[in-house]
Amino acid sequence: MTERNDHDLGEQFHALRREDAAAAAPFHATLAAARARHAPPPGRRTRWLAAAAAAVAGVALALLFTRPDRGGGVTIDLATVRWKAPTDFLLALPGEELLRAVPELGRPRSTRDRRIL
> Mind listing the pLDDT tens digit of every residue in the chain (117 residues)?
556 678 888 889 999 999 998 888 888 988 988 888 877 666 777 888 899 999 999 999 988 888 666 555 567 788 888 888 999 888 888 888 888 888 778 866 665 555 554
Residue 99's contacts (CB-CB under 8 Å, 6 or more residues apart) are 93
Distances in whole angstroms, Cα of residue 106 to Cα of each of 73, 116, 117? 59, 14, 11
- Cβ atoms 44, 51 nearer than 8 A: no
Using CA atoms, how far apart are residues 24 and 27, in angstroms rounded to an integer?
8
Report pTM: 0.28
The helix, strand and coil proportions of the chain, stated in percent and rounded to the nearest 5, come to 60, 0, 40
